[in-house]
A = this chain, B = another copy of it.
């Protein structure tokens, strides 16, 4: 076994999920992630945690959903009991075909998800972590060879997270103290309020309210957005390519949109519900182990020197206790590249430049 698989498993169990002896752990994976599951099982055994292995085969879920009449029972007792009694849920992403459920009607997917809301909440109530095992299918989606893709994923994942967390803490401090963020570069001049909001130092550990491995971003929940932004990092949403999406905001809402490719998808997204026209997230990618774009938002949005804004739902972790932020059925991240603009790309907080062309002020 690739030694990096073992390192990945240990990072997941120790740094990310903070597993301790006696923890009841669920590990969810598909056959394609079996190597990482075996290494994770060994790490859990060594730490004296208890393990239930759940199969998350998408082909199996597709077969079940397509055969069902669509009237899914709410929160089956056995599934709910499993997650309600779990301390930790580790989801190992990476299957054999990213299009495995392409022929499941969206309506069926939604009905199934709605019926499992209690199960999902029980899962989110644990020390859950989602990670990615580099599979051939994901390499294919990234347009990369298997070996190069493995190097890419481990480069992004096997990091000194403690050091990165310390670096990211500097940005969190600035955002927590700030009131207004401005992002400016050719084609982009946008301001948003962050007053009263708390930034998350997303350091790939539940100890940092961060549930993805890899992570490496600092994000908050903005409001009262004004101005225009161009997202020049191409991305695939709902199977369609989006390129150079441009959004114009007034009083926090999108009032105009355009795109070099995929404009109709953007229109559909904005029409989802009222919250879909407002921002739910401002995120700053700080993972410089992610050295290229792979058309996978989990990696792309964390890329160093990028900033992303998400249309739709905001995360509770950014809000004061008991306050609810922007609500929507969607959360779609769109990314803009802040590097290589000859000094013209800046992110400022309350008028002071924090990042110029991707370099933070503490890096000058």
Contacts and interface: CB of A to CB of B under 8 A. Distances in A.
A274 interface: no
Contact of A79 (B50, B60, B73): B50
Nearest to A9: B63
A55 interface: yes
Contact of A68 (B22, B38, B45, B69): B45
A39 interface: yes
A135 to B, nearest CB: 13
Interface in A32-73: 34, 37-39, 41-46, 48, 50-57, 59-61, 63-69, 71, 73
Contacts of A86: 78
Given A34-B59, A39-B63, A78-B85, A69 B48 contact: yes
Contact of A82 (B34, B38, B52, B67): B52
Given A52-B76, A55-B37, A42 B29 contact: no
A296 B97 CA distance: 35
Give how many copies assemble into the complex.
Answer: 2
A84 interface: yes
Contacts of A60: 34, 37-38, 41, 53
A51 to B, nearest CB: 6
Given A57-B37, A82-B81, A76 B50 contact: yes
Which residue of A41, A69, A71, A73 has the most chain B CB atoms within 10 A of its CB atom? A41
Contacts of A57: 34, 37-38, 53
Contacts of A42: 63-64, 66-67
Contacts of A52: 54, 76, 78-79, 82
A38 B59 contact: yes
A39 B86 CA distance: 29
A21 B52 CA distance: 26
Interface string A3-39: 0000000000000000000101010010100100111
Contacts of A71: 48
How many of chain A's residues touch chain B, expressed as a range?
A: 35 or more
Dominant secondary structure at the A interface: helix
A67 B46 contact: yes
A103 interface: no
A77 interface: yes
Nearest to A43: B67
B63 A38 contact: yes
A78 B45 contact: no
Nearest to A56: B53
Interface string A83-104: 1111000000000000000000
Given A42-B63, A52-B54, A24 B69 contact: no
Which residue of A56, A67, A71 has the most chain B CB atoms within 10 A of its CB atom? A67
Contacts of A46: 67-68
A24 B80 CA distance: 11
10 contacts: A41-B63, A42-B63, A42-B64, A45-B66, A45-B67, A77-B85, A80-B85, A81-B81, A81-B85, A82-B82
Given A34-B59, A44-B67, 5 more contacts: A31-B34, A78-B82, A78-B83, A80-B85, A81-B82
In the A-B complex, the 5 residue pairs with the smallest Cβ-Cβ separation, listed nearest first, are A45-B67, A50-B76, A81-B81, A31-B31, A45-B68
